[in-house]
């Protein structure tokens, strides 16, 4: 018994060390955005934390707007899944997982996974802080919040063990919140739970054996299917910021111009920053395409993914906000291309130029 406990403690110590090391390596990969985070997100950390708790408050108190609360809860689950997806390899120590499975009990690995998952899930921790503050009478009035915290834990487990099932779960839940009629919060969250539990019985999506690279288009599609994280986190961050902008427009319509500028600035930022990834691919396959005499076409094509992301984001913003002006959109397209060139030629100046242009357009508009 004592020997087993000592072996478990040794494994836990190793896994925690591997977890912290992996997180440090993940943060090191964001060095190109260090100045950007310092200039843009640094002063807003407190505000982001307050918005997190404000959103949870809307989920708890959902008697008058049950449908909006359910949509917000689904957005929270999506953002949580994206964040945990980024750290999932650190949680499970995927590089050495097979080796550990041969010498340690599977139950030990799962228990340590759960501990590190709880440590990583700041969204669930925020919910637990609110839950501790609720009295019994308040709990009886908001039983759906128990289901919401259960969903947070279930989604976390699905991220590290059945990530592909999340797609089916979010698809089913999105259909539920988009129905033309409204339900109460308990029914919405019960439906979410059924949707995610049911998604566990769907087969995994595996398209890797069907992909054939025969052109530059199929090359880029194959690359982003294999490295989908760079698109997923940008899409999640853009969705969150766009929904926040929609709410701001409804509350403060007199701030329309400022909101338009910030939305387009986000589109430019998230789209043009994809150029860092595309340029790395260009460097990696430069010799191969030079040998085949297709380097010029390949060079021109590596600008397209960033512009496509910018175009899709801008189109979504125009459809939801319905206040964006075409001249401003055209100006932002030129701005996006300029940021792409900076990401490739002068990456150290990328964040500073983005901030200066954002402030300048905001003052002019």
Beta-carbon contacts of 47 under 8 Å, excluding residues fewer than 6 positions away, are: none
- As a whole number of angstroms, the distance between CA 303 and CA 296 comes to 12
Q: Given a cut of 70, is residue 14 above it in pLDDT?
A: yes
* 190 and 241 both lie in a single domain: no
* 83 and 216 both lie in a single domain: no
Report whether 144 contacts 186 (CB < 8 A): yes
Q: Which residue has the tokens 């701001």?
A: 248
Crossing angle, helix 66-92 and helix 106-120, to 10 degrees? Answer: 130
Q: What is the pLDDT of residue 43?
A: 47
Q: What is the pLDDT of residue 195?
A: 92
Number of structural domains (the chain) is: 2
- Domain final residue, candidates 170, 203, 236: 203
Cβ neighbours around 15 below 10 Å, total: 22
- As a whole number of angstroms, the distance between CA 269 and CA 261 comes to 12
* 262 and 215 both lie in a single domain: yes
Q: What is the pLDDT of residue 155?
A: 92
* 180 and 252 both lie in a single domain: no
* 195 and 273 both lie in a single domain: no
* 232 and 127 both lie in a single domain: no
In this structure, what is the dihedral angle of CA atoms 328, 332, 334, 337, given to the nearest 10 degrees? Answer: -170
- As a whole number of angstroms, the distance between CA 209 and CA 201 comes to 22
- As a whole number of angstroms, the distance between CA 194 and CA 214 comes to 42
At residue 359 the predicted structure's pLDDT band, cuts being 50, 70 and 90, is: confident
* 214 and 170 both lie in a single domain: no
The distance between the two most distant Cα atoms of the chain, rounded to a whole number of Å, is 73
- Domain final residue, candidates 172, 203, 234: 203
Taking Cα atoms as reference points, which of 30, 84, 24, 80 lies closest to residue 276?
A: 30
* 198 and 284 both lie in a single domain: no
CB under 8 A, 24+ apart: contacts of 324-332: 324/260, 324/263, 324/264, 325/260, 328/260, 328/261, 328/264, 328/361, 328/365, 329/264, 331/361, 332/264, 332/265, 332/267, 332/268
Beta-carbon contacts of 268 under 8 Å, excluding residues fewer than 6 positions away, are: 310, 332, 335, 336, 339, 354
- Which of 241 and 346 is assigned the larger pLDDT? 346
Could you read off the pLDDT of 23-47 as tens digits, one per residue?
888 776 655 555 555 555 544 455 5
* 40 and 69 both lie in a single domain: yes
Q: What is the pLDDT of residue 265?
A: 87
Report whether 74 contacts 169 (CB < 8 A): no
* pTM for this predicted structure: 0.72
- Domain final residue, candidates 203, 227, 249: 203
Range of the domain at 214: 210-364
Q: Which residue has the tokens 């896994």?
A: 15
* 193 and 263 both lie in a single domain: no
* 191 and 74 both lie in a single domain: yes
* 27 and 168 both lie in a single domain: yes
Beta-carbon contacts of 125 under 8 Å, excluding residues fewer than 6 positions away, are: 118
């Amino acid at each position: 018994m004592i020997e087993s406990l000592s072996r478990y403690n040794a494994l836990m110590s190793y896994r925690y060390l591997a977890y912290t090391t992996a997180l440090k390596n993940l943060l090191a990969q964001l060095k190109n955005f260090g100045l950007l985070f310092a200039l843009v997100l640094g002063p807003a950390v407190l505000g982001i934390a307050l918005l997190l708790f404000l959103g949870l408050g809307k989920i708890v108190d959902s008697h008058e707007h049950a449908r909006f609360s359910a949509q917000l809860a689904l957005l929270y689950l999506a953002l949580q899944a994206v964040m945990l997806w980024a750290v999932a390899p650190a949680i499970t120590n995927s590089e050495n997982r097979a080796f550990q499975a041969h010498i340690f009990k599977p139950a030990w690995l799962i228990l340590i996974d759960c501990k590190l998952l709880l440590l990583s899930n700041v969204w669930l921790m925020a919910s637990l802080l609110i839950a501790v503050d609720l009295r019994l009478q308040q709990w009886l009035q908001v039983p759906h919040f128990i289901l919401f915290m259960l969903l947070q834990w279930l989604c976390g487990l699905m991220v590290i063990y059945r990530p592909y099932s999340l797609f089916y779960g979010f698809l089913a839940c999105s259909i539920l919140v988009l129905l033309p009629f409204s339900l109460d919060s308990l029914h919405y969250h019960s439906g979410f739970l059924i949707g995610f539990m049911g998604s566990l019985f769907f087969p995994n999506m595996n398209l890797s054996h069907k992909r054939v690279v025969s052109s530059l288009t199929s090359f880029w599609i194959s690359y982003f299917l294999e490295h989908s994280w760079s698109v997923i986190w940008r899409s999640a961050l853009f969705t969150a910021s766009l929904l926040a902008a929609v709410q701001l427009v409804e509350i403060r319509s007199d701030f329309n111009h400022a909101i338009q500028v910030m939305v387009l600035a986000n589109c430019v930022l998230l789209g043009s920053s994809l150029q860092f990834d595309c340029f790395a691919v260009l460097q990696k396959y430069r010799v191969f395409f030079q040998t085949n005499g297709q380097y010029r076409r390949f060079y021109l094509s590596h600008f397209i993914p960033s512009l496509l992301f910018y175009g899709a984001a801008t189109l979504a913003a125009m459809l939801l906000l319905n206040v964006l002006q075409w001249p401003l959109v055209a100006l932002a397209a030129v701005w996006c291309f300029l940021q792409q060139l900076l990401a490739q030629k002068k990456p150290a100046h990328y964040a500073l130029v983005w901030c200066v242009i954002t402030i300048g357009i905001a003052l002019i508009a």
